[in-house]
Structure 1
Amino acid sequence: MLFRRLLFIALPPLIFLPEVQASIELSDKIALGGFGSTAISQSDNRTPLFISREITDETCYDCDTIFGLQLDIDVFDSLSASGQVVKRTQDDWSDPELEWAYLSYEYDDFEVRAGRLRIPLFLVSEYYYVGQAYPWIRPPQEVYDSLLGFTFYDGLSLAWNYDVSDELLLTISPYYGFDRLNEVEIAGSVLQFDTEYMAGIYVDLVGFNYRLHSGFMQVEYTQLPAVEKSTLDIYTVGAEYSYESWLWMAEVELDRLQANWYASVIYAFDDLSPYLTYAESHQLRKSKGVTVGVRYDVTSSISLNLEYQAILSQGEDNRAQFVTSPLVYNENSDVNLVSLAVSFVF
């Protein structure tokens, strides 16, 4: 079930955050869950900021709006099905995306999944759209925009879950995605990528108050209308560690086109959790960014975030975290962003 998985995946390291409420049990075998977030956001630059969000200097009330529903079914003891539909930031309400839909079969320490699955490269990939499950308004875009907003694949995965000790779980999971046409809209233009295949593996090591995650994915694709195929190898490493009221998180993403990383520290007392994040992008995107924010947990299922973000471009001729070069808008290459957000689960 989605939110039972969230409790296991997201909350052991985030021990100071409130527990996510369980989904609605429609029957002994069927559960329905939901989540969402929205924000009031405004920058001081006319150039659209962040892929799939495109925040500008005009106050935006729906650039960060997400709403999702998930249905989980226990078919029988070892076989289950799960489906998740999400109105993502780039979607109209009338045209949400089927983010995952798969069958899962468990046998001893192994789990096989087939269908539409989430790309498992990053620490918060499994719950990327569930803002209630992480401390920020948005996962650091320097790392999480490196895939141009692509979050799922159609294919197969195999996971081996091994209890190293009573407090340590090891997961090793190879996966394979079949041929698919992927599209993304950037600055008013639709980019098409004919993906021949994607294949990868991730390794997770989860302890009582820490998690280590590493991933590798190879993608063979053609960016249309070109005919020549390209191959891209993507490497990621992430870690999170909590001690008393402190949480530290960091991730690195590397491929032949770019190198991106961030480090974040969060401190929680009572219902308030202030946080500080520093991030950098190199090669394809060149920028340095600082995010300062605070999260307030209204209840165990509703939270508010107030966040200020400054992004400094390393050179005027690159797009940094914009969707296009600010030179197109005759704008400064640096940007400041303020956001007020609410997130919830049910």
Structure 2
Amino acid sequence: MSRWFILLLFLSAKAAAQFTLSDDLRVSGFGTFTAAKSDSITPVIDQRDLTNQWCYDCDSILGVQFDWHISDHLRSALQILKRPQDHYSSPQLERAFIEYFNHGITLKAGRLRTPIFIISEYYYVSSAYPWLRLPNEVYNSFRGLTHYDGVVLDWSYESRSWGQWIVSPFYSIEREEKIEQYGQTFDISIKDSLGFSTNWFYEDHQLHLAYIHNDATQKLNNLFIKELKLDMVSLGFSSTFAQWHFQSELLLATHLYANWYASIDYTWRKFTPYITYGQSRRRIDSHSYLLGTTYALTSDINLYAEWQRIYGQNEMMSGQFTRLQDPSEPFDTQVNLVSFGISFTF
């Protein structure tokens, strides 16, 4: 009941677009609610665990952000977020930073979004991208670890002939995290990390490249499992031609990932139908097809309908399934997933 009350509260407030508490302080927010069902009893998709029973809470997201413009060169932001894997009673502090900007240079310090992908900055804002969920093969690779504590420096150069180029080196301090994998909770100790991302914008086109190095220790019930030394590289491209939009991203990680997706969508009046193909290699072998459409009910509210087929291997650890399968029973190697959703911003 509480989630529907919150949904009605947010929708009734959306007409205000953003709450301006003062000339320098404003509040904005976003949310997503879905009804989703697969044709398998084995849960599928990390942080969602969708099965053959209708689930009305597996994708739910609610976020509120406070922005304070301190001066002409200084601002701060704080974001409280209920992610799909969180309970409504235990939202997370997803972002909290202070930012200084001047003449093409921006310095941020605090809790920041990991800038590894094209849509990292809007990871939980469904209204910012055509799909109801971000492509599993690439965006679920971080197991829900979407932020870091540290600093990032953005250097921006703009030219009339060549567009805009932004280079962003970043540093993350050591931290402890928990991840869910195949029904178990692992403790991850991540050491200090270095990385960078760069974006080139020209008219309606974007090219993205990012790199991050991580040293981590994985434990289960305080028992050492393994050391992880990861070098991860992502490459992405997004391009818009009239009503057509194409986007593709590739993620490579040492011994773990060679994952990618490609997606195309077309905007016709208030509808935006889309088709996406994704593939995972190395740690798991999987691929998927996605068909869906978005309907812009208003400028702040979008409706979604999706069908997705996901293929895995004939093994206990199969594809995008999130539980180990019983070897005494036939393995599920493919699953069909139907989803309906609504997203909003204010």
TM over 0.5: yes
Change (3 A) 1:58 1:83: same
Q: Deviations over 1:123-173 (max 9, x none)?
A: 110001001110001010110111111100001111101112277111000
- Confirm or deny: 8 A CA contact 1:265 1:275 kept in the other structure: yes
Aligned pairs for 1:91-130 within 5 A: 91-130=86-125
Q: Which whole-Å deviations, capped at 9, do the CAs of 1:82-134 have from their partners, x for residues lacking one?
A: 01111000000010011110000112211111000000001110001001110
For residue 9 of structure 1, what is the aligned residue in structure 2?
A: none
- The aligned amino acid for 1:312 is Y
| Structure 1 counterpart of 2:338 | 338
Distance 1:233 1:294, change over 3 A: same
Judging changes above 3 Å, is the alpha-carbon distance between structure 1 residues 116 and 140 closer, same or farther for their aligned structure 2 residues? same
Counterpart CA distance in 2 for 1:54 and 1:192 is: 20
Check conservation: 2:143, 2:180, Cα contact below 8 A: no
Task: State how 1:223-262 maps to structure 2 within 5 Å.
Answer: 223-224=218-219, 225-226=223-224, 229-256=227-254, 257-262=256-261
Contact 1:52–1:186 at 8 Å: present in 2 too?
A: no
Deviation by residue 1:164-222 (Cα, 9 ceiling, x = unmatched): 22771110000010010011123432111101122110000112211111100000111
Query: Where does 1:154-165 land on structure 2 (aligned, <5 Å)?
Result: 154-165=149-160
Distance of 2:225 and 2:312 partners within structure 1: 33
Tell me whether 282-291 or 187-196 shows the greater mean CA deviation.
Answer: 187-196
- What SS does the aligned partner of 2:284 have? coil
Distance change (3 Å), C-alpha of 1:187 and 1:169: same
Q: Which amino acid is the alignment partner of residue 155 of structure 1?
A: G
State the one-letter code of the partner of 1:333: T
CA displacement at 1:312 relative to structure 2: 1.1
CA distance in 2, matches of 1:112, 1:328: 52
Aligned to 1:5: none
For the pair 1:277 / 2:272, whether they are aligned, the reply is no
SS at 1:283's partner residue? coil
Choose which of 34, 39, 42 in structure 2 pairs with 1:39.
34
* CA distance in structure 2 between the partners assigned to 1:219 and 1:22 by the alignment: 39
TM-score calculated relative to the size of structure 1: 0.91
Match of 1:287 in 2: 286
| Distance apart, 1:50 and its partner CA | 1.0
Partners of 1:181 and 1:329 in 2: CA distance: 37
Q: Which segments of 5 or more consecutive residues in structure 2 lack a partner in the other structure?
A: 1-14
Asked whether 1:48 is paired with 2:43, we answer yes
Q: Quick one: distance in 1 between partners of 2:63 and 2:197?
A: 25
CA drift at 1:44: 0.7
Give, in whole Å, the separation in 2 of the partners of 1:334 and 1:344.
32
Q: Unpaired segments of 5 or more residues in structure 1?
A: 1-19
* 1:173 counterpart (162, 165, 168): 168
Q: Contact 1:316 / 1:327 at 8 angstroms: preserved in 2?
A: no
Sequence identity percentage:
36
Query: Which residue among 126, 134, 142 is the counterpart of 1:131?
Result: 126
Higher relative contact order (CA closer than 8 Å, sequence separation 6+): 1
**How much is the aligned-residue C-alpha RMSD, in angstroms?**
1.7
- Distance, in Å, in 2 between the alignment partners of 1:230 and 1:43 is 33
Partner AA of 1:341 in structure 2: G
1:58 correspondence with 2:57: no
Contact 2:58 2:84 in 1 (8 A): yes
Q: Is the 1:193–1:221 Cα contact (8 Å) retained in structure 2?
A: yes
- TM-score under structure 2 length normalisation: 0.91
Q: CA deviation at 1:317?
A: 4.1
- The CA distance in 1 between the partners of 2:28 and 2:39, in whole Å, is 37
CA gap 1:307/1:21 in 2 versus in 1, 3 angstroms: farther
State how many pairs are aligned: 327
Q: What is the match of residue 208 of structure 1?
A: 203
